[in-house]
Amino acid sequence: LPVPIAVFFLLYKERMVPCCNGSSHPLLSADELALETRPGDKDELSSAGHRAPAAAGHEDLFSCCQSRNFRGASYTYFAVHVTGALVLFMTDGIVGEYSGFVYSYAVEEPLSVVHKVAGYLPSLFWGFITLGRLISIPVSYRMKPATMVFINVVGVLITFLLLLIFSSSVVFLFVGTASLGLFLSSTFPSMLAYTEDILQYRGCATTVLVTGAGIGEMVLQLLVGSIIHERGSYSFLVCGMIFGCLAFTFYAFLVFFHRMYPKPPPGKKAPAPSPALGGEGEHRS
């Protein structure tokens, strides 16, 4: 509860709550926000100053959904948003459903792992997610985000395939759990960095990606839980394999639309990413 209360307070102070536009003063003025965003760009500073009376330091909370921001955008612009969100829908959904049901899968037949031993599986999974994110920081300096996402998605697909082949092996269940944690760990930040390279974060790219990931983590857990209840524990791995195939398919579409997406004219300076999001290196870390 303290987190949403604090976020609501910040939105209220910045006059971003439509029904509560009181007389409170924003935490940062428009000039201060412009200086933090692009200190060396005088054109943007001047334009930010002209917008100050109307925007009071921020645009409306739902400004990214206004139709004027999409005028002249090609269909590939929307396709990159949708396919990127679908990849995260599947991968973050796998994180949620695997961590939520791997214990239940392990204690059922044919594995019949002791409850105490099966309890280590979720901890092993999250531990290797943490380890993988630490490893991905130096790796991201030498590898492009698109390549990292490709390796992650293919690694998830191969791991689920091997888990299905060796479904009666308790040892490989532990190995596969650690492998999944490694491959899934950097998918989300790498996808953010990849879409940043394509779109320079014009529009609602971050909102769409984060929303897609959150919905996937919620919906796929509910779906897999219902299927396990109806079809048995083996369907847990089958669902993971299907989600992995879908993630790879959506990634292939994302690469296809990336190649078709119009590149900015040579010599035109791309807009800087939002200070709230951080730079490309922060996304990858």
Quick one: which of 57, 60, 76, 79 has its CA closest to 68? 60
Say which amino acid occupies 143: M
Whether residue 55 lies inside any domain: the answer is: no
Give me the pLDDT at residue 51, please.
45
Whether residue 265 lies inside any domain: the answer is: no
| Integer CA distances (angstroms), 84 to 121, 194, 214, 233, 250, in order | 29, 9, 13, 30, 8
Which token pair is 184?
Answer: 């899934």
Contact 254/82 with Cβ under 8 angstroms? no
Which token pair is 179?
Answer: 């492998």
Q: What's the domain count of the chain?
A: 1
Whether residue 187 lies inside any domain: the answer is: yes
**Radius of gyration of the chain measured on its C-alpha atoms:** 22
Give me the pLDDT at residue 134, please.
95
Give me the pLDDT at residue 63, please.
53
Give me the pLDDT at residue 280, please.
40
Give me the pLDDT at residue 21, please.
62
- The one-character DSSP state at 64 is G
Task: Give, in degrees to the nearest 5, the angle at Cα 252 between 279 and 79.
Answer: 65
CATH assignment at residue 153: 1.20.1250.20
Give me the pLDDT at residue 10, please.
87
- Rounded distance between C-alpha atoms, residue 91 and residue 134, angstroms: 19
Whether residue 170 lies inside any domain: the answer is: yes
Whether residue 165 lies inside any domain: the answer is: yes
Per-block mean pLDDT, blocks of 10 residues, the chain (285 long): 87 77 61 52 46 44 53 75 93 94 91 92 96 93 93 96 92 95 94 85 75 93 93 90 96 90 57 41 41
Q: List alpha helices for the chain, DSSP H.
A: 2-13, 30-37, 42-55, 75-107, 115-118, 120-140, 145-165, 170-185, 187-199, 205-231, 235-260, 280-284
Whether residue 20 lies inside any domain: the answer is: no
| Residue numbers of the domain that contains 183 | 75-260
Whether residue 42 lies inside any domain: the answer is: no
| Integer CA distances (angstroms), 62 to 15, 120, 125, in order | 12, 43, 37
Per the confidence metrics, is the pTM higher than 0.85? no
Whether residue 15 lies inside any domain: the answer is: no
